[in-house]
Amino acid sequence: MSVEILGLGASAMDIVMQCENLPKEDGFSFIHCEKLMPGGSCANVLVTLSNMDIRTSLVAQLGDDHYGGLFLEDIKLSGVETEYVKVKQGGESLHTFITVDKKGDKAIYCNLGDSLLELGADDVGSEMLKGIKLFYTDMFPVKPAIKLARLCKEEGIPVAVNLQCAPSFMSLCNASSQELEEMFSLADVIFACREGLLELAGSDDYLSAGNSIYDKYRPKYGLVFTLGENGALVFGEEGLAEIPAIDIEAVDTTGAGDSFIGGFIYAFFISKMTAADSARFANACAAIKCTQRGPRLKASKEDILEVLSREA
């Protein structure tokens, strides 16, 4: 059985610190628990899909340090194919420091290392696309993501792009505004977080920003705008769908957006649900994740359907 979803993007180890509150400037906070956990946005999306029995493969570059070794061991155990994961000798892997307060709110500090962003366009090729149903990327890094997206367009393979960080942060990661423009133009579906979409659109209004970006790029399967506790907005040919979040007691919101995207991809591209129903399924994935500590969803599709049945 061939790989169904190919993902290129952030692959990290996360140092997650459960704290009393997120410290203010020049302030202090008490850490209750500290854990080293596998994460990275793209990897989290692929693991979500793997938990739903979808064959996935990761394209990334790690260092041969402690973080890289732990990440690679875990991603294999999670069922994600690693044929296209490169290891840089003497390299430092992407890792993050995440503080999570007692309400589940978080702050993320990112150490990019010197490996992930060195993956180049020459490191990827058409052989990676054989048999896949979708290419997903968060553009870490952007140049090989663009190359694979161009190849996908030639082959008629859908491209899903996630703007998980604001364009100003992406520029610090060597992604120019011109490259972001091309990436969005190649996308069949665009996912975006609040900060990213508002900055991209130059607006502080959700609806105005969403309409502006959707009208500019016209992604075939729509623009999906995640709003955390406020649910999600789906902009598409059939108009706007506003999907409320599922009410839960959050303990950790880290990775909720990644779980949402994994759920949406499964529902829309694999199960062929409508975009609105796919967003509802994705909201259930995100809700379950928020009740679990750590950056990755630990749930099967049966668990998600059970949550949806209770909400019906």
User: What does the block give as tokens for 63?
Assistant: 């260092």
- Tell me the average pLDDT across 258-271: 98
* Torsions phi, psi for 115 (to 5 deg): -115, -55
Q: Which long-range contacts (CB under 8 A, 24 or more apart) does 150-153 make?
A: 150/186, 151/125, 151/126, 152/186, 153/186
**Nearest CA-CA partner of 9 in 49, 41, 54:** 41
pLDDT at 311 over 90: no
Looking at residue 34, its pLDDT comes to 95
Looking at residue 23, its pLDDT comes to 81
pLDDT digits (tens, 9 = 90+) for 238-263: 899 999 999 999 999 999 999 999 99
User: What does the block give as tokens for 178?
Assistant: 């011109």
Tell me the residue type at 98.
I
- Tell me the average pLDDT across 8-12: 98
Share of the chain above pLDDT 70, in %: 100
- Say how far apart CA 3 and CA 48 lie, in whole Å: 15
Looking at residue 1, its pLDDT comes to 63
- Helix or strand (DSSP H, E) at 49: helix 41-50
Question: What Rg, from alpha-carbon coordinates, does the chain have?
Answer: 18
- Tell me the average pLDDT across 116-138: 98
Range from 26-35, 65-74, 166-175, 186-195 carrying the lowest mean pLDDT = 26-35
Q: Contact at 8 Å (CB) between 43 and 58?
A: yes
* 119-135: burial string, b at 16+ Cβ within 10 Å, e else: beeebbeeebbeebbbb
Q: Contact at 8 Å (CB) between 3 and 59?
A: no
Domain boundaries, the chain: 5-22+31-311
- Say how far apart CA 36 and CA 31 lie, in whole Å: 14
- Tell me the average pLDDT across 32-43: 96
Residue 109 DSSP SS3: strand
Q: Contact at 8 Å (CB) between 210 and 197?
A: yes
pLDDT at 188 over 80: yes
Looking at residue 189, its pLDDT comes to 99
Looking at residue 81, its pLDDT comes to 98
pLDDT digits (tens, 9 = 90+) for 13-29: 999 999 999 988 898 98
Q: pLDDT category, 312, cuts 50, 70, 90?
A: confident
CA angle 52, 164, 143 (to 5 degrees): 100
The secondary structure of 272-291, three-state, reads CCCHHHHHHHHHHHHHHHHC
pLDDT at 100 over 80: yes
- Tell me the average pLDDT across 205-215: 97
Query: Crossing angle of helices 194-201/206-217, nearest 10°?
Result: 70
Domain spanning 5-22+31-311: which CATH class is it, in words? Answer: alpha beta
Q: Contact at 8 Å (CB) between 93 and 12?
A: yes
HSE-up of residue 231 (Cα within 13 Å, Cβ side): 15
Q: pLDDT category, 279, cuts 50, 70, 90?
A: very high
- Tell me the average pLDDT across 53-74: 98
pLDDT at 209 over 90: yes
Looking at residue 24, its pLDDT comes to 85
Ordered alpha helix ranges (H), 9-166: 41-50, 66-77, 142-155
Where are any strands of DSSP class E within 101-143?
A: 106-111, 134-137
Greatest Cα pair distance in the chain: 54
- Say how far apart CA 312 and CA 310 lie, in whole Å: 6
**pTM (predicted TM-score):** 0.95
pLDDT at 36 over 70: yes
Average pLDDT over the chain, rounded to an integer:
96
Tell me the residue type at 42.
C
Q: pLDDT category, 225, cuts 50, 70, 90?
A: very high
- Say how far apart CA 27 and CA 290 lie, in whole Å: 26
